[in-house]
């Protein structure tokens, strides 16, 4: 089995009539994802993608009509807070926010509310999820991996793609790939995903892709040491990043002596995680 999404996941796309929403919805449909509805206020009643997907004015109406249980957001940052709250109030179990540039205060409000009602958020500023052969929700290319037994969890989008392709080149497939996002405030953490992989019978080993900034990787190392029975392989991006300079993600910044790459590597190695020097080494470390 996979984690979080599978062939039965019914996907609602916020912003489906926009350029990004339309393109990636088309890619998801082509992969086999069960995209059942879209939401764009003012465009309810339209059908898109060759008449395959109905558009609704509100998430509530979309969920009531189609039974959608997962929302993915391709909406501008200024509308994302309201869209996530609307999706949660509509009753979806899983929200995946691709959008970047959402203010930290907005995300603090969203994560606090979602934790109160029990809705899971992945992201923001993430590539989404991919369960090869089952479903893809987001922007991860489906052709760079195949079904298998390696779980992947990552803060980085492009590094995720590189690792998936490296695994494929070595004949290794993936159970589920989860891009948790690189912002300072996110919905689902490394430890959350590690717990899901630990309980997933299809996942035999896990790849954790971290980067400088914050302490999420150190917390993940503690979880691995205390709870994981499955092999975990790691990679930390940004080892050469100068202190005080943000490298790509909003959360990838070293300040006040915390968030250093060497500290993350050392914490993971103390927990028994084999840490690769570059992404191409990961398949060999899994063997």
**188/152 Cα distance (integer angstroms):** 14
CA dihedral sign, ordered 103, 105, 109, 115: positive
Pick the catalytic residue from 14, 143, 227, 249: 249
Neighbours of 280 (CB within 10 A): 15
Determine contact, residues 236/192, Cβ cutoff 8 Å. no
**125/148 Cα distance (integer angstroms):** 26
The per-residue b/e assignment along 42-68, b for 16 or more CB within 10 angstroms, e otherwise, is eeeeeebbeeebbbbeebeebbeebeb
Determine contact, residues 233/286, Cβ cutoff 8 Å. yes
Q: What share of the chain is helix, strand, coil (3-state, %, to 5)?
A: 35, 25, 40
Our CA dihedral for 11, 14, 16, 17, rounded to 10 degrees, sits at: 160
Cα–Cα separations (whole angstroms), residue 11 to 139, 261, 268: 14, 36, 35
Cα 267 to the chain's mean position, in Å?
Answer: 23
Catalytic site includes residue 149: no
**272/268 Cα distance (integer angstroms):** 7
**Positions marked catalytic:** 249
């Amino acid at each position: 089995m996979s984690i979080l999404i599978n062939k039965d996941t019914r996907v609602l796309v916020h912003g489906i009539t926009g350029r990004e929403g339309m393109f990636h919805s088309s890619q998801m449909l082509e992969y086999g994802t069960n995209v059942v509805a879209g939401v764009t206020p003012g465009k309810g009643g339209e059908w898109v993608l060759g008449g395959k997907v109905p558009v609704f004015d509100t998430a509530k109406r979309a969920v009531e009509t189609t039974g959608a249980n997962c929302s993915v957001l391709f909406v501008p940052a200024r509308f994302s807070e309201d869209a996530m709250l609307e999706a949660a109030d509509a009753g979806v179990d899983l929200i995946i926010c691709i959008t970047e540039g959402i203010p930290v205060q907005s995300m603090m409000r969203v994560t606090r509310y979602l934790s109160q009602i029990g809705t899971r958020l992945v992201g923001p500023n993430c590539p989404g999820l991919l369960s090869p052969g089952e479903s893809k929700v987001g922007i991860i290319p489906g052709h760079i991996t195949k079904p298998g037994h390696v779980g992947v969890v990552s803060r980085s989008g492009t590094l995720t793609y590189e690792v998936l392709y490296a695994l494929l080149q070595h004949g290794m497939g993936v159970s589920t790939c989860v891009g948790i996002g690189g912002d300072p405030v996110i919905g689902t953490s490394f430890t959350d995903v590690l717990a899901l992989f630990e309980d997933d019978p299809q996942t035999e080993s896990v790849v954790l892709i971290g980067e400088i900034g914050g302490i999420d990787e150190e917390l993940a190392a503690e979880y691995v040491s205390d709870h994981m029975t499955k092999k975990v392989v790691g990679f930390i991006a940004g080892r050469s990043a100068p202190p005080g300079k943000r490298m790509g993600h909003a959360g990838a910044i070293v300040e006040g002596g915390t968030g250093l790459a060497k500290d993350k590597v050392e914490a993971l190695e103390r927990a028994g995680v084999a840490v690769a020097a570059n992404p191409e080494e990961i398949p060999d470390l899994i063997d």
